[in-house]
Amino acid sequence: MGRLIRWAATVCAALVIGLVGAPQVLGFDGFGDATADSTYDLEMRFEVELRGASPDRLELLVRTPGSDASFVTPVEPAGDVARYVWDTSTDHVTPNTLFTYQWRATVGDEVVLGPEETLRYEDDREGLDWQEAQLGEATVHWYGDAEAQARRFGELTAVGVEQAEDLLGTELAGPVDVFVYDSREDFFGALGPGAREWTGAAAYSELRTIFMWLGGGSASYLEVAMVHEVTHIVFFDATDNAFHGPARWLNEGIATWSESGDAGDERGIVEFEASGAGLFSFDAISEQFPIGERGGQLSYAQGTTLVDLIIDRHGREAIADIAAAYREGASDAEALEAGTGMAADELYAVFYDEFGVDAPAPIQAEPIAASNVDRPTAGLIDEGGVDVDPAAPPDSAPEQSPTDDADGASLPLLLLLALAGIAAVGGAVWAGRRAAERSR
């Protein structure tokens, strides 16, 4: 299969070289005006004027905050304009995302780049007559009659930022936007599919944006939630590095701890679970929290309680030292050791000891048994004159995927597979972008 794919790649390369080498009747003479516009939940539309003849190749480069790689898409010019429409009705984009885009034309060996422009994807749904006010580092946005509540959130942003800056030993790196939604439908329409149903507020740290829902809880809950969310943004700035995001239990633990300056009710949750179903390993909650209510609650509670323990035993400066280590690219274990002087496993052991339980041990996966499903007998498959045997039952050849041997497959199929691979890589880029932090 490797040989055929290499051959297919050579054919593709030859096609591209052929296009680049095509003679020009009248040369491409640069870009005219570039414009972009968006309609929430429908589309983003990018347009550019082309001077002279069409270039050999035209591409649109789009980048989102926090990403150092661009999404590149080829665009076919239509006369002296080119247009790219991004369907956001199926590919959800979080409102207030600031896109940076640039057009790129290739003529022969020459590459012409248009100027970098930006498009802010605004939530312009009907009925949302946004108003805004600037309060210190925060711009609060509201609609309807939520002005007083929005201004209160703005004041709390300043309180939360100051508190988090003091704990983390850094400063907020830029302004913050706070959007206040009145109805559940409007709020979840902004968060998009996949948001947990129990979400009442959310911070998208890379977008420096917080979404608040007025129906998310009582007035006092919302005030605490506001401090929690803005702490996430200061934490993001304090730990920003090119390698990885810090442990989620630590991020949520610090945000929850900051609500009241101690572990609050979270300690009781850990005590209750320690005497019941047991506690989680911290490695198990360093990336994602469980979806279920009990698992989610316990993850927040363990994070908050361990943060409280670190501050209690090693002082507040331990948190600033942990953040500083992350900025230098430390792993979770290295950062915890930089702050506490203890190996991460020792620190965790102290935590479990405090609740009278052993540290959870890894569970060995059970081997997957052979299939006991009765399969109908299949005959030979006729494919382009090549007889391909039906795949062997998995229990008779467990080491080898029956689709590995594709020497008999036709070239168009291989090209399709290669294209599907390229599409999958593009999808991964956007999956990465959508993985921007979302929290309760």
Nearest to 99 by CA among 62, 68, 45, 66: 62
- Shortest Cβ 195–Zn ion spacing (Å): 13
Alpha carbons 395 and 403: distance in angstroms, whole number = 15
Mask of contacts with Zn ion, 197-236, x by CB under 5 A? ----------------------------------------
Beta bridge partners of 72: 61
Binding mask 244-283 for Zn ion (x = CB under 5 A): --------x--x----------------------------
Q: Which is nearer to Zn ion, 233 or 311 (CB)?
A: 233
Q: Does 305 bind Zn ion (CB under 5 A)?
A: no
Q: Which is nearer to Zn ion, 101 or 282 (CB)?
A: 282
- Least distance between Zn ion and beta carbon 220 (Å): 17
In the three-class reduction of DSSP (H, G, I as helix; E, B as strand; rest coil), residue 105 is classed as: strand
- Pairwise CA distance, residues 255 & 16, whole Å: 51
By CB under 5 A, how many residues form the interface with Zn ion? Answer: 3
Choice between 114 and 216, CB closer to Zn ion: 216
CB of residue 274 vs Zn ion: minimum separation in angstroms? 23
Q: Which is nearer to Zn ion, 186 or 252 (CB)?
A: 252
Count the residues in the chain: 440
* Shortest distance, position 28 Cβ to Zn ion, whole Å: 50
Tell the smallest beta-carbon distance from residue 386 to Zn ion (Å).
56
- DSSP H or E run through 222: helix 219-239
Nearer to Zn ion, 225 or 330 (CB): 225
The CA angle 285-286-290, to the nearest 5 degrees, is 30
Q: Which residues of 145-170 are buried (b: 16+ CB within 10 A; e: fewer)?
A: ebeebbbbbbebbbebbbbbbebbeb
Whichever of 62 and 227 has its CB closer to Zn ion, that residue is 227
Among 97, 205, 231, 439, binds Zn ion (CB under 5 A): 439
* Residue 124, phi then psi, degrees to nearest 5: -105, 35
CA torsion through residues 347, 350, 355, 356, sign: positive
Binding site for Zn ion (CB under 5 A): 252, 255, 439
